[in-house]
C-alpha cells in the first residue's frame, strides 16, 4: 500500500509506504490519531467514506482481530468460533472449532456464553475465531491493549505461536509490543512512514533481551521527536 | 417478591380510599358502588364476565401477535432499505399524529362488528411502539460487529439475520412490553364504538342501564387481565429475548 487518505477532504495520512512481508509480522506503530486504524480498515475493505489516493494491492480475504473481542453475547463460545462459517452459510465444522478452542486452552469452555469468561479468555476466543477463518493475511488492531500486563504477554506468546507462517499486520501504539513482535517495524507519522530496524531474533522475543530493549528505546525516541 | 407485596398494599390502599369516599360523601350506589358490592357482582356475574372477557382476550392476543409480527417485519425492512426509510418514516409519524380513537368508527364501518375491527384497532395501537423500539435497536448495532462480519464475507442479508436482529432482540422486547399494555386499550376502544360482545361492550351496556356495579366489575376484570398479560409478556421476554447485563 502506498499513498494518502482523507475523509471528506480532511487528510488522515499522507505518503504512506507500507509493504507487508509475506509470512512475517509487520508492526505499524504510531501515536493515536495518526491514521493507523484507517490503514488497517483499508486493507480489510472496511474504510467507508475514506478517499484513498494511491496504490493498494488487494490482500484477498483477510482475518481480523481487534482490541474489543467482538464476541456475540447471545452465541456460545463454540458458536462464536464458528461465526464466519455461519455468516457465509457454510457447513459448521464443530470438530475443527473445538480443536481451535483447545489450541487457545479453552476446550472446557465451549458451551459457555462469553459473559461467563474473563477478558483474557474472551480475547483467546477471538483468537480461536481468527484461526478458524484460516486466512493467509491476518490484521491485528491493537488486540492486546485492553489486557493486563501478564495476560497481554501470554496472549502475545500464544498469538505469535499460532499465527506462525502467516502474513500479519499488527497495528499498535505500544513500542515494547512492536519490539517484541515486529519482524519489520514501521512508525507512522503525519508526514510519512519511517522504518526502524527490528531485532533479527525470532519472535516472540524476551521482553528483557538487550536488542529488544534497544529497539524499544529507538522507537520511543522516534515517537517523541516532534515532526 | 417485594413487588407483589407492594402491589397488594397499593390495592388495599385504593380500596380503603374508595370506601372512605363513600362513607364520607354518602354518594348513591348507582353513582359509585362500594367495593364489597363490586366484589359480589364479580362473583355473581362470573359467567357473564368470563364470556365477554374471553372475547376481549382473543382480540387482544391476536392483535398482539399480528402487531408484533408486522412491527418486526417493518423494522427489519426499514433498516434494510434506506429508500423505504425515507418513504415510510413520514407516513409512520403521520399515522401517530392521527388520534387512533378517531379511526375506530371507520374500522367498524369497514370491518364490521365482529372480532376483526377490534383486532385491527389493537394492532394499529401497538404497531408504532413495536416498530420504533425494534427499529432503533437495529440501527444501534455495534459497527465493529458489522465490520467483522463484512471481513468474514457475510452478505447484508446474513448480517441482518445473524448479527443485527439477534443484537436488537432486547429492543424488540421493550416494544412488546409496551404493546402488552396498549393492546387492551385498542380492543376496548373498538368495542365501545360498535360490538355485541367483549368487556368494552359490557361496560357500555352496564353503564347505560345504571348497573354501575357491573361496569366496575368489568373494569376490574379488564385491569387484572392487562396486568397478567403484561406480567406474562415480561416473563416471556426475560426468558427468550433479554440478555443479562453487561453482555
For residue range B126-158, list pLDDT tens digits in order. Answer: 998 999 999 999 999 999 999 999 999 999 999
Which CATH number fits the domain B36-240, given the four candidates 1.10.10.10, 1.20.120.1200, 3.30.70.2860, 1.10.3720.10?
1.10.3720.10
Chain B: closest CA distance from residue A106 (Å): 20
* Interface pTM, i.e. ipTM: 0.87
A68: chain B residues, CB-CB within 8 Å: 144
d(CA A59, CA A49): 20
Of residues A6 and B125, more confidently modeled? B125
d(CA B226, CA B222): 6
* pTM attached to this predicted model: 0.84
B244: chain A residues, CB-CB within 8 Å: 115
Which one of A41, A71, A72 makes the best mutation probe of the B interface by having the most chain B beta carbons within 10 Å? Answer: A72
B145: chain A residues, CB-CB within 8 Å: 70, 72
Neighbours of B118 (CB within 10 A): 35
Q: According to the model, what pLDDT value does residue A227 have?
A: 57
Backbone angles phi, psi at B122, to 5 degrees: -60, -45
Measure CB to CB from residue B158 to each of A41, A61, A89 and give the nearest one: A89
B247: chain A residues, CB-CB within 8 Å: 73-74, 113-115
| pLDDT digits 0-9 by tens, B6-44 | 989 998 999 999 999 999 998 888 888 999 999 999 999
All 3 cell numbers of residue A101? 478452542
Backbone angles phi, psi at A12, to 5 degrees: -100, -50
Residue B246 has pLDDT above 70, yes or no: no
Residues of chain A with pLDDT under 70: 1, 7-9, 226-227
Q: According to the model, what pLDDT value does residue A195 have?
A: 86
Q: According to the model, what pLDDT value does residue A197 have?
A: 83
Which residue does chain B place closest to A84, by CA atoms?
Answer: B152
Which residues are CB-neighbours of B150 under 8 A, at least 6 positions away? A44, A45, A46, B159
Assess contact for A122 and A71: CB atoms under 8 A: yes
| pLDDT digits 0-9 by tens, B67-123 | 999 999 999 999 999 898 898 888 888 877 888 888 888 888 999 888 999 999 999
A72 with B145: Cβ contact below 8 A: yes
Which one of A37, A76, A87 makes the best mutation probe of the B interface by having the most chain B beta carbons within 10 Å? Answer: A87
* Residue ranges per structural domain of chain B: 36-240
Backbone angles phi, psi at A30, to 5 degrees: 180, 160
B151 with A74: Cβ contact below 8 A: no
B166: chain A residues, CB-CB within 8 Å: 72, 74
**Angle, nearest 10°, between helix axes B46-80 and B82-97?**
140
Residue A70, sorted as left (phi over 0), alpha (psi -120 to 50) or beta, turns out to be: left
Per DSSP, chain A holds a count of helices (H) and strands (E) of: 8, 9
A184-189 sheet: strands from edge to edge: A62-66, A137-141, A167-172, A25-29, A184-189, A192-196
Q: ∠A136-A140-A144 over CA atoms, to 5°?
A: 140
Which residue does chain B place closest to A79, by CA atoms?
Answer: B162
Query: Closest Cα to residue A42, out of A139, A187, A120?
Result: A139
Q: According to the model, what pLDDT value does residue A226 have?
A: 66
Which residues are CB-neighbours of B106 under 8 A, at least 6 positions away? none
Residue B180 has pLDDT above 60, yes or no: yes
Q: According to the model, what pLDDT value does residue A190 have?
A: 78
Amino acid at each position: 500500500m502506498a499513498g494518502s487518505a482523507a475523509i471528506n477532504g480532511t487528510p488522515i495520512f499522507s505518503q504512506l509506504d507500507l509493504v507487508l512481508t509475506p509470512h512475517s509480522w509487520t508492526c505499524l506503530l504510531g501515536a493515536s490519531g495518526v491514521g493507523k486504524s484507517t490503514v488497517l480498515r483499508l486493507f480489510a475493505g472496511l474504510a467507508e467514506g475514506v478517499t484513498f489516493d494511491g496504490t493498494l494491492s488487494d490482500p484477498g480475504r483477510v482475518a481480523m482481530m481487534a482490541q474489543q473481542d467482538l464476541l456475540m453475547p447471545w452465541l456460545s463460545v463454540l458458536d462464536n468460533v464458528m461465526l464466519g462459517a455461519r455468516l457465509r452459510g457454510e457447513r459448521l465444522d464443530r470438530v475443527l472449532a473445538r480443536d481451535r478452542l483447545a489450541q487457545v486452552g479453552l476446550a472446557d469452555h465451549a458451551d459457555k456464553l462469553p459473559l461467563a469468561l474473563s477478558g483474557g479468555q474472551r480475547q483467546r476466543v477471538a483468537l480461536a475465531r481468527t484461526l478458524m477463518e484460516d486466512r493467509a493475511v491476518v490484521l491485528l488492531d491493537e488486540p492486546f491493549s485492553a489486557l493486563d500486563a501478564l495476560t497481554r504477554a501470554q496472549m502475545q506468546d500464544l498469538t505469535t505461536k499460532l499465527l506462525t507462517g502467516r502474513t500479519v499486520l499488527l497495528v499498535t501504539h505500544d513500542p515494547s509490543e512492536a519490539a517484541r513482535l515486529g519482524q519489520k517495524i514501521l512508525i507512522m507519522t503525519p508526514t510519512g512512514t519511517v522504518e526502524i530496524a527490528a531485532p533479527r531474533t525470532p519472535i516472540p522475543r524476551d521482553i528483557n533481551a538487550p536488542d529488544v530493549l534497544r529497539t524499544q528505546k529507538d522507537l520511543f525516541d522516534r515517537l517523541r521527536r516532534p515532526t | 417478591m417485594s413487588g407483589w407485596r407492594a402491589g397488594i398494599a397499593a390495592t388495599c390502599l385504593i380500596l380503603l380510599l374508595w370506601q372512605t369516599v363513600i362513607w364520607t360523601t354518602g354518594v348513591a350506589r348507582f353513582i359509585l358502588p362500594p367495593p364489597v358490592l363490586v366484589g359480589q357482582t364479580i362473583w355473581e356475574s362470573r359467567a357473564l364476565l368470563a364470556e365477554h372477557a374471553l372475547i376481549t382476550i382473543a382480540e387482544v392476543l391476536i392483535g398482539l401477535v399480528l402487531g408484533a409480527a408486522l412491527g418486526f417485519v417493518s423494522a427489519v425492512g426499514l433498516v434494510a432499505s434506506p429508500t423505504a426509510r425515507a418513504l415510510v418514516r413520514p407516513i409512520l409519524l403521520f399515522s401517530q399524529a392521527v388520534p387512533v380513537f378517531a379511526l375506530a368508527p371507520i374500522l367498524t364501518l369497514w370491518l364490521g362488528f365482529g372480532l376483526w375491527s377490534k383486532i385491527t384497532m389493537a394492532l394499529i395501537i401497538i404497531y408504532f411502539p413495536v416498530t420504533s423500539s425494534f427499529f432503533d435497536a437495529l440501527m444501534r448495532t455495534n459497527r465493529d460487529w458489522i465490520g467483522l462480519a463484512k471481513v468474514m464475507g457475510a452478505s447484508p442479508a446474513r448480517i441482518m439475520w445473524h448479527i443485527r436482529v439477534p443484537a436488537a432482540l432486547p429492543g424488540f422486547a421493550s416494544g412488546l412490553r409496551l404493546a402488552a399494555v396498549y393492546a387492551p386499550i385498542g380492543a376496548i376502544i373498538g368495542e365501545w364504538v360498535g360490538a355485541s360482545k367483549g368487556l368494552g361492550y359490557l361496560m357500555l351496556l352496564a353503564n347505560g342501564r345504571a348497573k354501575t356495579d357491573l361496569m366496575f366489575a368489568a373494569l376490574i376484570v379488564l385491569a387484572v387481565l392487562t396486568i397478567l398479560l403484561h406480567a406474562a409478556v415480561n416473563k416471556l421476554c426475560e426468558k427468550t429475548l433479554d440478555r443479562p447485563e453487561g453482555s
